[in-house]
Structure 1
Amino acid sequence: MALLFVAILAVVFSVVSSGVVPAYHGYGPVHHDPLEGVDYYAHPRYSYNYGVADGLTGDHKTQHEVRDGDVVKGSYSVAEPDGTIRVVHYAADDHNGFNAVVTRIGKAVHAAPVAAAHGFLGHGHY
């Protein structure tokens, strides 16, 4: 019996020291990660809309975006201080990268310049 124990101990020692792991044949418990080899990639897909229209502050903007896998498409608009509306249509994917087309709607309105008061600017009288 002692000789059998020494023989088993010698085999275990040689396997451990050699780095060779014996094959599992379905006998006894083996502790493996149950999620090993599971593909965690989920196909991303969403669509959303967002908008603000505040007459008191003049804040007006919208956004819409759709994603299907690695392709994203969308647009947004924002009211500019000059009275125009900037509209941006964009798309992004693995093949073409990110592309955007920017347009403006409306005519820019700028405040009239304020005339300098006589005697304060450019005349040397302070």
Structure 2
Amino acid sequence: MKIILVTLAVCAAAAFASAHDAPAHYKFDYGVHDPHTHDVKSQWEHRDGHDVKGAYTLKEADGTIRLVEYTAGPHSGFNAVVKRIGHAHHPAHYGHHKGGHGGDSYVGPTHWGFQH
């Protein structure tokens, strides 16, 4: 009985080792476009063995799109190229500010704000 258990354990370990050493391959992509939160982004990535290639986009608050294209591998390391697409749009200003006073704050004190 012990020989059978040892044989099964060795076979299971060998099967795990061969699956673990196999080159990884995957592909994925996704995107988000939420008009309520203005969250607009996407990403894709492919892995073939030890080499990874991918890109992601993100809509910035100023209206531009950040595009990051990247590659990674055991010999080249991680490399990314960041591009900014479009022209920045600044938010409209409402009203006039007098005397350098800011707006009202609605944030309460934090638990670490009043240490004695």
- Count of equivalent residues: 92
Indicate whether 1:84 and 2:64 are aligned: yes
Question: What is the alpha-carbon distance in structure 2 between the residues aligned to residue 121 and residue 52 of structure 1?
Answer: 39
TM-score, with length taken from structure 2: 0.67
Aligned counterpart, 1:116? 97
Question: What is the alpha-carbon distance in structure 2 between the residues aligned to residue 52 and residue 59 of structure 1?
Answer: 7
Aligned counterpart, 2:45? 65
Aligned counterpart, 1:96? 76
Deviations 1:64-100 (A, max 9, x none): 0000011000000010000001000000000110000
Secondary structure in structure 2 of the residue aligned to 1:107:
coil
Give the residue type in structure 2 aligned to 1:60.
V
Within 5 A, what are the aligned runs for 1:50-61? 50-61=30-41
Within 5 A, what are the aligned runs for 1:12-51? 31=6, 33-35=9-11, 39=18, 40-51=20-31
Q: CA deviation at 1:37?
A: 5.3
Unpaired runs of at least 5, structure 2 = 102-116
Secondary structure in structure 1 of the residue aligned to 2:63:
coil
Question: What is the alpha-carbon distance in structure 2 between the residues aligned to residue 63 and residue 88 of structure 1?
Answer: 9
Unpaired runs of at least 5, structure 1 = 1-28
Ranked by relative contact order (alpha carbons within 8 Å, sequence separation 6 or more), the top structure is 2
